[in-house]
């Protein structure tokens, strides 16, 4: 706990330096809150991922297998399918929680919608909505995995371009120091989150991201003069 607080304090100071030219107090407060939310959800998902196994098993037992009309077959088979699904969802929740906990400081994309198999809900004890990997067909059902891997690998590999893009912007704005610091933060963030997505592409992840947001959709956005993404409010971690 002491180590986490120390890291958080260091990151807040770093961000204050990064955003000193542009209302540091407001920027530091917002980004510190983003880090806190990401750390909170990360720790929660890491510790509660195992709940997915009994939760999904119960869901499977209740719903059965839709294409089998005989209850005596459908519900027992649904229980087995639910258990397998619970292992998959539980692994995804736990590992994404570990990733968020370790990278609570890192900025991320505004959303994971369409990237990776989504978890049913933000937290393991919530009902949520199931994503069916075989609907409408296995190709479309598994496509989000491929998109998650491609985006993650691309972010990790090309993350240095983020640094040079921010340096270019800093020089253009007559503030190269801020450009260097921003480039360091966002390129490191993109490398961490991208690497995590590439490694964990096969397991489910939260549909919504929390925490701080990357400035650009692609690592080369600042270099090419791409318009910055609109900063979205991080979803609340409490109902």
Q: Is residue 76 assigned to a domain? A: yes
Q: Which comes out higher in pLDDT, residue 4 or 158?
A: 158
Per-residue pLDDT, averaged over 152-160, amounts to 97
99 touches 49 (CB < 8 A): no
Q: Indicate the pLDDT class of residue 17, thresholds 50, 70 and 90.
A: very low
pLDDT tens digits, 97-143: 999 999 999 999 999 999 999 999 999 999 899 898 877 888 888 99
220 touches 165 (CB < 8 A): yes
Q: Is residue 237 assigned to a domain? A: no
Residue 147 burial by CB count (10 A; 0-12/13-18/19+): exposed, middle or buried?
middle
Residue 13: per-residue pLDDT: 45
Q: Is residue 131 assigned to a domain? A: no
Q: Indicate the pLDDT class of residue 237, thresholds 50, 70 and 90.
A: very low
Per-residue pLDDT, averaged over 208-212, amounts to 93
Backbone angles phi, psi at 118, to 5 degrees: -80, 145
Per-residue pLDDT, averaged over 170-198, amounts to 95
| Structural domain span for residue 67 | 2-125+136-224
148 touches 119 (CB < 8 A): no
Average pLDDT of every residue of the chain: 85
CB-based contacts of 138, cutoff 8 Å, min separation 6:
none
Per-residue pLDDT, averaged over 139-149, amounts to 94
Token output for 175:
């503030």
Q: Is residue 211 assigned to a domain? A: yes
Report percent pLDDT > 70 for the chain: 84
C-alpha 205/C-alpha 98 separation (Å) is: 11
> In the block, which residue shows the tokens 């990401």?
38
Q: Is residue 116 assigned to a domain? A: yes
Token output for 203:
């397991």
pLDDT tens digits, 164-181: 999 999 999 999 999 999
Per-residue pLDDT, averaged over 147-152, amounts to 97
Q: Is residue 48 assigned to a domain? A: yes
Residue 4: per-residue pLDDT: 52
Q: Is residue 153 assigned to a domain? A: yes
Number of domain units in the chain: 1
pLDDT tens digits, 20-30: 444 444 455 68
Q: Which of 41, 42, 32, 78 is nearest to 59 (CA)?
A: 78
pLDDT tens digits, 44-85: 999 999 999 999 999 998 887 877 878 778 888 989 999 999
Token output for 82:
């639910």
What secondary structure does DSSP assign to the chain, as a single string?
A: -HHHHHHHHHHHHHHHHHTTTTTHHHHHHHHHHHHHHHHHHHHHHHHHGGGHHHHHHHHHHHH--TT---HHHHHHHHHHHHHHHHHHHHHHHHHHHHHHHHTTTS-B-SB-TTSSPBPSSSSTTS------TTSS-HHHHHHHHHHHHHHHHHHHHHHHHHHHHHHHHHHHTT-HHHHHHHHHHHHHHHHHHHHHHHHTTTS-B-SB--S-B-SSSSTTHHHHTPPPPPPPPPPPS--
Q: Is residue 215 assigned to a domain? A: yes
Q: Indicate the pLDDT class of residue 192, thresholds 50, 70 and 90.
A: very high
């Amino acid at each position: 706990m002491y180590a986490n607080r120390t890291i958080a304090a260091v990151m807040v100071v770093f961000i204050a330096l990064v955003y000193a030219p542009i209302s540091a107090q407001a920027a530091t407060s917002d980004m510190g809150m983003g880090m806190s939310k990401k750390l909170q959800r990360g720790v929660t998902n890491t510790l509660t991922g195992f709940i997915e196994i009994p939760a999904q098993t119960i869901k499977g037992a209740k719903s059965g297998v839709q294409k089998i009309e005989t209850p005596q077959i459908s519900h027992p088979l649904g229980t087995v399918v639910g258990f397998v699904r619970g292992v998959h969802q539980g692994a995804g929740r736990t590992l994404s929680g570990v990733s968020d906990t370790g990278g609570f400081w890192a900025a991320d994309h505004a959303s994971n919608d369409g990237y990776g198999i989504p978890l049913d809900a933000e937290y393991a004890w919530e009902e949520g909505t199931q994503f069916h990997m075989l609907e409408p067909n296995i190709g479309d059902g598994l496509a989000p995995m491929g998109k998650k891997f491609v985006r993650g690998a691309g972010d990790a590999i090309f993350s240095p371009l983020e640094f040079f893009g921010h340096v270019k912007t800093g020089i253009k704005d007559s503030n190269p120091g801020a450009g260097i610091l921003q480039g360091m933060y966002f390129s490191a963030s993109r490398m961490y989150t991208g690497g995590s997505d590439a490694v964990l592409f096969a397991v489910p992840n939260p549909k919504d991201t929390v925490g701080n947001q990357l400035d650009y959709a692609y690592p080369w956005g600042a270099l090419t003069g791409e318009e910055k993404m609109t900063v979205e409010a991080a979803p609340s971690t409490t109902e």
